[in-house]
Amino acid sequence: MPLTPQQIEALRALLDRLIPEDEFPGALAAGTDKFILQLLTHACAAETPIIAQSLTQLDAEAIARHDLPFGKLPIAAQDALIYELEHNRTATAWPTTFPANGFINRLIDLAAEGFYADPANGGNRDASSWRMIGYNPLLPVHPTAP
């Protein structure tokens, strides 16, 4: 079950706050959204329905508080809402099996996994996060191992 365009918009807006851009690229510039969408169609396909539902719920929370979907909120309101959900303070009813903080924590993990893993995973374009922190695997260009 793929995400709807609205759910993808909520996902991207959320990622943009979880790992924002500053003097270094953030999650969106690094392609972390695509990494997550890829994971949700393959290794984590079983999680897709509940994540999709939670992204809709994220918009519902934003609408309940500010009459706007999450992606349309000002940054400060987005951050405040993430903080509230991280502490399970909700204005709408979330599924008991996957409460708001479970959803936020899962997305925090997924975002970091994409953003800080090797670029071949697709969420760390040009190794931008590695350059930011001063990491390079220093693998020889011509490995001599058989």
Partner 1 sequence: MSATASTYDVIIIGAGLGGGIAAGVLAEAGQRVLLLERGRDLRYRDIPGDHLRHHRLSLYGDNTTYDPTGHPRVFVDPQGRSRTVFPHEADYHNNALTVGGGARIWGMQAWRFHPDDFRMASRYGTPTGSSLADWPVSYADLAPFYERAEQEIGVAGDHAATDYAPRDRPFPLPPVPATPTGAWLARGAAKLGWNAFTPPLAVNTKPYLGRNACVQCRQCIGFACPTDARNGSHNTLLPRALATGRCTLITRAHVARVLTDASGRAYGVEYFAPTTPDSAQTERRKVHAATIILAGGAIETARLLLLSASAQHPLGLGNHSDHVGRHLQGHYYPVVSGLLPAGFENPNLGPGVSIATTQFNHGNPGIIGGAMLANDFVKLPIIFWRSHLPPDLPRWGLANKKAMRELYLRGIDLRGPVQEIPSPDSRVTLDAHIRDYFGLPVARLSGTTHPETIRTAEYIRARAEDWLRAAGAEHVWSSPMDLRLSASQHQAGTARLAADPRDGVTDPYGRVHGHDNLWVTDGSLNVTNGGFNPALTIMALAFRTATKIAAKS
* Nearer Cβ to partner 1 (87/95): 87
Rounded to a whole number of angstroms, the minimum distance from the CB of residue 129 to partner 1 is 7
Select from 103, 97, 91 the least CA-distant residue to 18. 103
Q: Select from 4-12, 37-45, 48-56, 92-100 the region that touches partner 1 (CB under 8 A).
A: 37-45
Select from 108, 66, 65 the least CA-distant residue to 86. 108
Q: Is residue 109 helix, strand or coil?
A: helix
**Contact positions with partner 1 (CB under 8 A) in 82-141:** 82, 86, 105, 108-109, 111-113, 116-118, 120-121, 129-130, 132-140
**Contact positions with partner 1 (CB under 8 A) in 50-69:** none
132 Cβ contact list (under 8 Å, min separation 6): 24
Rounded to a whole number of angstroms, the minimum distance from the CB of residue 87 to partner 1 is 12
**Is there binding between residue 46 and partner 1 (CB under 8 A)?**
no
83-114 residues labelled b (16+ CB within 10 A) or e (exposed): ebbeeeebeeebeeebebbbbbebbbebbbbb
Contacts with partner 1 by CB under 8 A lie at: 17-20, 22, 24, 26, 39, 43-44, 79, 82, 86, 105, 108-109, 111-113, 116-118, 120-121, 129-130, 132-140, 143-146
